[in-house]
């Protein structure tokens, strides 16, 4: 998940809280480095009251910019919220501490089925926070009732009105899944075949981009887009013509995780923050506010019927089995970069 969009916006509340922090120097300050608009501010206020502290929010817009800042020597953060694949990179650079799960008793609530797919299944360095699939959205009035499949990108009725994400992991990953291969394949033959599929899709594509797709499909400029669940579900709430699907072949079902940097000045308070967000009531409240799924079994029964029944955030067991998070490719990233260059230049 590269961008976050709430069903409601909390930026003003968070800014007000940050201003309050300036006048609360006597209280301990928990510094959280995270994505923008990624927390119900009511929960922030509740934690502050419970722990007599101030939570200060700082934001980033990509995993890579966060990683670069920490690797460059930035200190003072108590909590960071990287995507799972980035956790691996942070661990390699010794930028995270091992978690003391004894201080996070509510981690027992984390969905066991999610942990089976997680890149840190023992929660050694990270506890899952929010997860959601990369989806496809289309206009029913233009394309009719479509099969939930990546084959939709070959639909001639959508030609010139299609966008896909400007992200090689998402595009080539989707092509791999369409062929029945792993989303994180490092097999050169499979990557080659997926590249050929992505080039076929490109014949219909207007552009690869990460910003305009939600407004574009809402306005009717685009008929078909690849994008992130939170944003597309929000658009669909406001526009009955928009259909959001998880392809039957599977999708990237990525997760952002709660971690404690190696230089955290308040590690005990950071553990308490993670534990607080893992409480069933906190997780359910946060889900309803943000519009993403917290993999928290104890929270599911507390969700509204509409939210819990959403087939995008809660796909069938059969479909969920075909979804997986983007993994860290390490040195094999070069294989993907070469394939992406070929797609872009085709």
Mean pLDDT over 261-277 rounds to 98
Top pLDDT among 95 and 211 is at: 95
Q: Pairing state of beta strands 242-245 and 127-139?
A: antiparallel
Q: What is the pLDDT of residues 9-38, one digit of tens each?
A: 334 344 444 444 444 458 899 999 999 889
Q: What residues contact residue 2 under an 8 Å CB cut-off, 6+ apart?
A: 61, 62, 63, 167, 210, 228
Is 277's pLDDT higher than 70? yes
Asked whether residue 5 is domain-assigned, the answer is no
* Residue 37, pLDDT score: 86
- Residue 212's domain comprises 133-252+315-345
Return the pLDDT at 19: 40
Residue 332 and residue 185 in one domain = yes
Nearest to 123 by CA among 159, 154, 87, 86: 87
- Per residue in 110-140, pLDDT (tens digit) is 999 999 999 999 999 999 999 999 999 999 9
Helix ranges restricted to H, the chain? 11-22, 41-51, 63-71, 84-92, 112-117, 140-143, 168-178, 188-202, 213-219, 229-238, 267-278, 280-290, 297-300, 305-308, 317-320, 333-345
247 and 333 co-located in one domain: yes
Q: Which structure tokens are listed for 51? A: 């722990």
Q: What is the pLDDT of residue 112?
A: 96
Residues 92 and 173 in one domain: no
Instruction: Evaluate whether residue 79 is within a structural domain.
Output: yes
Mean pLDDT of the chain: 92
- Counting residues of the chain whose pLDDT is more than 70, the rounded percentage is 93
Looking at residue 210, its pLDDT comes to 87
Region of residue 256 (phi > 0: left; psi between -120 and 50: alpha; otherwise: beta): beta
197 and 321 inside one domain: yes
Residue 25: predicted pLDDT: 59
pLDDT at res. 230: 83
204 in a structural domain: yes
What is the C-alpha to C-alpha distance for residues 302 and 281, in angstroms, rounded to an integer?
Answer: 7
| 49 and 91 share one domain | yes
pLDDT at 330 over 90: no
Tell me the average pLDDT across 226-242: 92
Quick check: is 1 in a domain? Answer: no
pLDDT of residue 207: 95
Closest to 223 (Cα-Cα) out of 210, 208, 204, 238: 204
CA 292 to chain centre: 8
Alpha helix ranges (H) inside 128-261: 140-143, 168-178, 188-202, 213-219, 229-238
Q: Are 77 and 53 in contact (CB under 8 A)?
A: no
| CATH code where residue 208 lies | 3.40.190.10
Position 147 in a domain: yes
Element (H, E) at 60: strand 54-60
* In a shared domain, residues 169 and 304: no
Q: Across residues 51-71, what is the average pLDDT? A: 93
243 and 267 part of one domain: no
Calpha distance 123→201 (Å, rounded): 38
Residues 225, 161: Cα–Cα separation, whole Å: 8
Write down the pLDDT at residue 18.
43
pLDDT tens string 149-171: 999 999 999 999 999 999 899 99
| Total of domains in the chain | 2
Are 198 and 342 within 8 A, CB to CB?
A: no
Residues 325 and 219 in one domain: yes
Residue 3 lies in a domain: no
175 in a structural domain: yes
Average pLDDT in the 273-287 region?
A: 98
Classify residue 28 by burial, with Cβ atoms within 10 Å: 0-12, 13-18, 19+.
Answer: middle
Q: Do 230 and 327 lie in a common domain?
A: yes
- Does residue 159 lie in a domain region? yes
Is residue 85 within 8 Å of residue 328, measured between CB atoms?
yes
Residue 236 shares a structural domain with residue 332 = yes
70 & 197 share domain:
no
Same domain membership, residue 232 and residue 172:
yes
């Amino acid at each position: 998940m590269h961008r976050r969009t709430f069903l409601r916006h909390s930026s003003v509340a968070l800014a007000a809280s940050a201003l309050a922090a300036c006048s609360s120097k006597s209280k301990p300050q928990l510094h959280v480095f995270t994505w923008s608009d990624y927390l119900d501010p009511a929960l922030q206020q509740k934690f502050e009251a419970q722990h007599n502290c101030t939570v200060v929010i700082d934001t980033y817009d990509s995993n890579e910019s966060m990683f670069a800042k920490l690797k460059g020597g930035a200190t003072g953060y108590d909590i960071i919220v990287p995507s799972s694949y980035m956790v691996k990179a942070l661990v390699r650079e010794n930028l995270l501490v091992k978690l003391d799960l004894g201080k996070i008793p509510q981690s027992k609530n984390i969905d066991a089925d999610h942990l089976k797919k997680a890149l840190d299944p023992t929660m050694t360095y990270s506890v899952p926070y929010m997860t959601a699939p990369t989806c496809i959205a289309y206009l029913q009035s233009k394309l009719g009732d479509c099969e939930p499949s990546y084959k939709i990108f070959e639909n001639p009725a959508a030609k010139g009105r299609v966008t896909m994400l400007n992200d090689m992991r998402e595009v080539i990953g989707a092509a791999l899944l369409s062929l029945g291969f792993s989303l994180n394949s490092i097999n050169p033959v499979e990557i080659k075949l997926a590249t050929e599929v992505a080039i076929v899709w490109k014949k219909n594509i207007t552009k690869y981009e990460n910003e305009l797709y939600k407004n574009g499909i809402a306005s009717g400029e685009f008929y078909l887009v690849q994008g992130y669940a939170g944003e597309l579900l929000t658009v669909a709430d406001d526009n009955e013509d928009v259909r959001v699907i998880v392809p039957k072949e599977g999708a990237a079902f990525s997760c952002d995780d709660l971690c404690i940097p190696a230089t955290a000045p308040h590690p005990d308070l950071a553990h308490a923050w993670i534990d607080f967000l893992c409480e069933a009531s906190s997780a359910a409240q946060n889900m309803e506010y943000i519009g993403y799924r917290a993999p928290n079994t104890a929270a599911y029964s507390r969700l509204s019927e509409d939210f819990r029944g959403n087939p995008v955030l809660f796909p069938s067991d059969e479909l969920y089995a075909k979804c997986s998070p983007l993994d860290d490719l390490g040195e094999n990233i070069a294989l993907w970069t070469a394939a992406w260059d070929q797609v872009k230049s085709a």
